Amino acid sequence: MRKILLLSFLLLTLAPYTASISGAAVAAQTRSDSRSSRLNPKHNGRPRMPSRDYIDCTPGAGVISFEANFDFYAMTVIIGDEDAPILTASITPDDPTVEVGYLYGDYPVTCISDDGRQFYGTLHL
């Protein structure tokens, strides 16, 4: 009888932990499969404190959507090199998407906010 009670006690106490471990594994797998990228501010090669501001960009079917964690009025998006861009577009908080057609591969992305801050990253399409 003691063995049954001990076994049921262990099952009841360990069951929530195994559920949270499997949930964490699913969340980690979802994040690793995601193609979203985070754009960070450029610091011109000088050491600086990390910025709290960033832009998340998530590609979809022919569209890239941008989500900034700060307020802006308008932003210029440059896909490709700044010297020879593949695409240049403008986004606003009301319409934070850019139609890219069917581009494939890795592209550098630059976002220039209305206050002049520049955010850089690589987008995986």
- Per-residue pLDDT tens digits for 90-111: 999 999 999 988 788 889 999 9
AA letter at 51: S
Contact call for residues 90 and 75 (beta carbons, < 8 A): yes
* Whole-prediction pTM: 0.64
Distance between CA 97 and CA 100 in Å, rounded?
9
AA letter at 75: M
Domain boundaries, the chain: 1-33, 34-124
Q: What's the pLDDT at 125?
A: 79
Residue recorded with tokens 């700060």: 70
- 34-124 CATH pick, 3.40.50, 1.10.3470, 2.60.40, 1.20.120: 2.60.40
Contact call for residues 94 and 74 (beta carbons, < 8 A): no
Question: Which of 82, 116, 87 is closest to 103 using CA atoms?
Answer: 87
Average pLDDT of the segment spanning 22-31: 35
DSSP, collapsed to helix, strand or coil, labels residue 68 as strand
Q: How does DSSP assign 23-67, residue by residue?
A: HHHHHHHHHHH---EEEEE--TT---PPPS--EEEEE-SSEEEEE
DSSP-assigned beta bridge partners for residue 120 = 40, 110
Whether 7 has a pLDDT exceeding 60, the answer reads no
> Which range is least confidently modeled, 32-36, 65-69, 73-77, 107-111?
32-36
Give, for 85, the enclosing helix (H) or strand (E): strand 85-91
